[in-house]
């Protein structure tokens, strides 16, 4: 995965030789360890390398291989690979094949949560139909994009759809219709932050005005077309110069590292210190550049950014280094001290599955309820191993609920289950237990986490011992996370914490009902 990430970064900087090296190293390791998910993504990168080097046959072969692998494991990577295959066929002017794969991409994305991605794919499909000279179908798809993107405020997609409509009208000689679409697109262009579209927009407007005999307007748009084209060419030239500067600086750094390696024969320790310094400097520069890029690209999406940051903090609070270390130590105990290989390997497998689930689910806005329950069960079994099965747990789901048909935010219950174990100290109590209940009430899902531990008031008077005083961030982080989700989805997310009179703590979360169907 390190080689995969290095290859991805080198590809972004157009360092194709280094990118190919890292990608092929990642491919070799993925084959050796039979990591199908990683291998499918590697073939996706290889396909992009083929596109950049204009080796379309190799690009197509790599992307089709990756698609077959991704399909076997039902990975979402299959959608990206299908889009890549469609792009290869479009570049190769194999319009019928491009159309086949582009339609499959749209079909797979319909009904999904990412509507921007769906509309982008529909817009690409519309352009392919236009190249096939089927403007009736192209117009139908472009009109869908314009209507739905307008409602979402996605002006860059609206402009793209209007330009497609203008081009089809121009191809059919419907000059007045084309002018109408061009004017609408020109009004939205400054708000779309997509000045690169201005070349196609002014070219289409020029054709339509010329067709109407309005040569003054046609001449105006011809000048705007040339100005936009020259501007884009200038930006690309500057970018190419900047890229050469970066490569030059990189070569200087590599020469400096080579000098340090030669000096290592005299003073090995000093060489190591300089190497660490240089690597750190390069990493900091990359991270700083990446942070600036994200800030410029995401300023208008402050709510989504807040949600993503909160989710990342929640992920760090959930799977802290102490839990990972203790879980691995417990597994080692079974493997070596107790020599219980079978049980140790069972829990090692569960631990690996839990890591995969958390890393994958943390990227999603919503996951199915049965996926959330599965990760909870893995987490609880790992904790039981850590505390020698000194506590029990129970997950109760209302019989009227089908967990595979409901969506919930990922990792929403786990921090409170962790609190019940770590802060409620149910592992120190006879018959200690945590109980998770899930049922529905009108228009919401009610999820509760109940334990019979020491309770909130008792926890406050425990002597200040590092074992018990580790502050849990679950309450504050979850509140921030739910508030961000409420702002984004305009649906209400609530939770409450209370002490149980007989002892223990009850956490109740109210989540909106979101269907997965």
List per-residue pLDDT tens for the chain, 517 residues long: 888 888 888 888 778 788 888 888 888 898 999 888 888 888 888 888 888 888 888 888 988 888 888 888 888 888 888 888 888 888 888 888 888 888 888 888 887 777 888 888 888 888 888 888 888 888 888 888 888 888 888 888 888 888 889 988 888 888 999 888 888 888 887 765 555 678 888 888 898 989 888 888 888 888 887 887 776 655 544 444 445 445 545 555 656 666 676 776 767 777 778 888 889 889 898 888 888 888 777 665 666 666 655 655 555 455 455 556 766 776 776 666 666 677 777 778 878 887 887 777 777 778 899 999 998 898 898 888 878 888 999 999 998 899 999 988 888 888 888 888 888 888 888 889 999 999 988 788 899 999 988 877 655 544 444 444 444 566 677 777 777 777 766 677 778 888 888 888 999 988 888 887 7
Q: Which segments of 342-416 are extended strands (E)?
A: 367-368, 391-397, 406-408
**Positive/negative CA dihedral, 148, 154, 160, 166:** positive
Q: Which residue bears the tokens 């080692």?
A: 332
Contact (Cβ atoms closer than 8 angstroms) between residue 93 and residue 69: no
Contact (Cβ atoms closer than 8 angstroms) between residue 91 and residue 124: no
CA distance 254 to 266: 20
Contact (Cβ atoms closer than 8 angstroms) between residue 472 and residue 416: no
Q: Assign 445 to helix, strand or coil.
A: strand
Angle between helix 414-422 and helix 302-318 axes, rounded to 10 deg: 30
Degrees, nearest 5: CA angle 142-147-150: 115
Question: Which residues share a beta bridge with 46?
Answer: none
pLDDT of residue 461: 45
Contact (Cβ atoms closer than 8 angstroms) between residue 407 and residue 479: no
Cβ-based neighbour number of residue 182 at 10 Å: 28
pLDDT of residue 464: 47
Q: Assign 479 to helix, strand or coil.
A: helix
pLDDT of residue 252: 53
Phi, psi of 451 (to 5 degrees): -135, 160
Q: Which residue bears the tokens 């067709």?
A: 211
Degrees, nearest 5: CA angle 204-205-207: 65
Give the residue from 365, 310, 277 showing the smallest Cα distance to 484: 310
CA distance 68 to 49: 19
- What the block records as the tokens of 254 is 């590599």
CA distance 197 to 182: 11
Contact (Cβ atoms closer than 8 angstroms) between residue 98 and residue 128: yes
Contact (Cβ atoms closer than 8 angstroms) between residue 129 and residue 141: yes
Contact (Cβ atoms closer than 8 angstroms) between residue 221 and residue 207: no
Helix, strand, coil shares of the chain as percentages rounded to 5?
A: 70, 10, 20
Give the residue from 449, 452, 366, 360 showing the smallest Cα distance to 73: 360
Question: Measured between alpha carbons, how far is residue 432 from residues 123, 381, 386 in Å?
Answer: 57, 15, 15
- What the block records as the tokens of 300 is 């208008």
Transcribe 296-309 into DSSP letters: HHSGGGHHHHHHHH
CA distance 32 to 20: 18
pLDDT of residue 208: 92
Classify burial at 487, counting beta carbons within 10 Å of its beta carbon; exposed 0-12, middle 13-18, buried 19 or more.
middle
pLDDT of residue 312: 53
């Amino acid at each position: 995965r390190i080689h995969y990430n290095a290859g991805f970064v080198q590809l972004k900087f157009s360092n194709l030789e280094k990118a190919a090296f890292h990608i092929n190293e990642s491919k070799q390791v993925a084959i050796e360890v039979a990591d199908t998910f990683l291998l499918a993504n590697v073939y996706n990168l290889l396909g992009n390398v083929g596109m950049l080097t204009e080796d379309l046959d190799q690009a197509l072969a790599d992307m089709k291989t990756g698609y077959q692998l991704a399909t076997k494991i039902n990975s979402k990577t299959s959608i990206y690979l299908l889009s890549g295959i469609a792009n290869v066929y479009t570049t190769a002017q194999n319009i019928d094949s491009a159309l086949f794969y582009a339609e499959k991409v749209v079909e797979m994305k319909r009904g999904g949560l990412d509507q921007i991605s769906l509309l982008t794919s529909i817009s690409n499909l519309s352009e392919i139909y236009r190249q096939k000279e089927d403007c009736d179908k192209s117009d139908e798809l472009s009109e869908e994009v314009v209507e739905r993107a307008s409602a979402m405020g996605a002006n860059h997609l609206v402009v793209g759809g209007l330009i497609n409509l203008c081009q089809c009208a121009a191809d059919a000689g419907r000059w007045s219709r084309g002018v109408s679409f061009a004017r609408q697109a020109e009004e939205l262009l400054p708000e779309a932050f997509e000045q690169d579209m201005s070349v196609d927009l002014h070219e289409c407007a020029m054709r339509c005005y010329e067709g109407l005999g309005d040569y003054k307007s046609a001449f105006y748009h011809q000048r705007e077309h040339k100005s936009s084209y020259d501007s884009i060419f200038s930006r690309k030239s500057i970018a190419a110069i900047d890229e050469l500067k970066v490569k030059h600086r990189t070569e200087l750094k590599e020469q400096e590292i080579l000098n340090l390696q030669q000096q290592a024969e005299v003073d090995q320790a000093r060489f190591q210190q300089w190497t660490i310094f240089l690597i750190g400097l390069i990493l900091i520069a990359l991270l700083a550049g990446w942070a600036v890029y994200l800030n410029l690209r995401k300023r208008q999406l402050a709510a989504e950014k807040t949600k993503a940051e909160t989710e990342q903090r929640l992920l760090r609070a959930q799977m802290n280094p102490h839990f990972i270390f203790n879980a691995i130590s417990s597994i080692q105990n079974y493997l070596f001290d107790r020599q219980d290989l079978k049980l140790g390997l069972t829990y090692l497998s569960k631990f690996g599955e839990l890591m995969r689930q958390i890393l994958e689910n943390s990227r999603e806005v919503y996951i199915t309820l049965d996926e959330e329950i599965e990760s909870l069960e893995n987490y609880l079994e790992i904790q039981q191993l850590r505390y020698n099965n000194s506590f029990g747990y129970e997950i109760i789901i209302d019989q009227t609920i089908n967990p595979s048909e409901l969506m919930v935010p990922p990792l929403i219950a786990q921090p409170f289950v962790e609190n019940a174990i770590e802060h409620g100290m149910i592992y120190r109590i006879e018959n200690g237990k945590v109980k998770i209940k899930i049922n529905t009430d009108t228009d919401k899902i009610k999820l509760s986490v109940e334990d019979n531990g020491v309770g909130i008031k008792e926890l406050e008077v425990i002597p200040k011992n590092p074992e018990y005083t580790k502050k849990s961030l679950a309450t504050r982080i979850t509140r921030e996370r739910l508030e961000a989700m409420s702002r984004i989805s305009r649906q209400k997310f609530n939770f409450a914490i209370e002490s149980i009179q007989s002892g223990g703590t009850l956490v109740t979360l109210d989540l909106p009902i979101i269907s997965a169907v």
